Amino acid sequence: MSKSQEKKQEILALALRTLLKHEAVEKITVDQICREAKVHRSTFYRYFQDKYDLLQYAFGTLMLSKLDEEDIVDSMISMIIKDKEIFRNVSINNSNNLLYWMMLDMLTERILEASLNDRLHNIKWIEETVLTSTDKKLAANMIAGACLTLFFKWVESNFQMSPEELSDFIHHLH
């Protein structure tokens, strides 16, 4: 893919990110995304099948790819705190569970990679659970699901627990 094509995809992802600060993903239209990105609809469809395809790309490139594998939990908490409205609009203000499943797959891969590459020292129980499991991917999937559920519940509670309390809670589970 050329730099120009990558730039167009990034512009569309940033436009979606901007819109998600104010509206649930279900309510955002491709037309709104194109207006915000200042591109034609044909440009959108050249790169993405629909807004959910763009959402997956945006989360993968703008957010989850930036997670620190040595500190997945705290970097995820920081990302949520930084973009509270976005996470509210893709979790509790969204009746489509697609995002949850996309995030689950992405987070599972990150946890699995970090465990297999010996980069999860700060959360020993996660690393040990994955590495000692007979099905490492399934173990990573279970942990990712538990963490995502906890993160979504945290957003739903309007961040009643401080980021530090949430981090300590996860770090000391086992």
Instruction: Measure the CA–CA gap between 44 and 172, rounded to whole angstroms.
Output: 44
Are 158 and 119 members of one domain?
Answer: yes
Are 46 and 99 members of one domain?
Answer: no
Q: Does some domain include residue 62? A: no
Distance of CA 19 to the CA centre of its chain: 16
Q: Does some domain include residue 23? A: yes
Are 45 and 76 members of one domain?
Answer: no
Q: Does residue 161 have a pLDDT over 80?
A: yes
Are 3 and 78 members of one domain?
Answer: no
Rounded to two decimals, what is the model's pTM? 0.81
pLDDT at residue 93 in the model: 65
Are 127 and 167 members of one domain?
Answer: yes
Instruction: Measure the CA–CA gap between 158 and 83, rounded to whole angstroms.
Output: 13
Its domain, for residue 124, covers: 67-174
Are 134 and 95 members of one domain?
Answer: yes
Q: Lowest mean pLDDT: which of 11-25, 84-98, 121-135?
A: 84-98
pLDDT at residue 120 in the model: 82
Average pLDDT over residues 134-163: 94
Q: Does some domain include residue 144? A: yes
Are 140 and 163 members of one domain?
Answer: yes
Of 145, 143, 150, residue with least CA distance to 165: 150
pLDDT at residue 95 in the model: 65
Of 37, 46, 1, residue with least CA distance to 17: 37
Are 103 and 36 members of one domain?
Answer: no
Q: What is the pLDDT of residues 22-71, one digit of tens each?
A: 998 889 999 999 999 999 999 999 999 999 899 989 988 877 777 787 78
Q: What is the pLDDT of residues 72-109, one digit of tens each?
A: 888 889 988 998 888 888 877 666 677 788 889 989 99
Q: How many CB atoms lie within 10 A of CB 166?
A: 21
Q: Does residue 129 have a pLDDT over 90?
A: yes
Are 149 and 102 members of one domain?
Answer: yes
**What tokens were used for 49?**
């099948």
Are 52 and 81 members of one domain?
Answer: no
Computed over every residue of the chain, the mean pLDDT equals 90
pLDDT at residue 108 in the model: 94
In the chain, how many domains are there? 2
Residue with tokens 């940033």: 14
Are 163 and 90 members of one domain?
Answer: yes
Q: Does some domain include residue 61? A: no
For residue 109, what are the contacts with CB-CB under 8 A and spacing of at least 6?
A: 140
Q: Does some domain include residue 120? A: yes
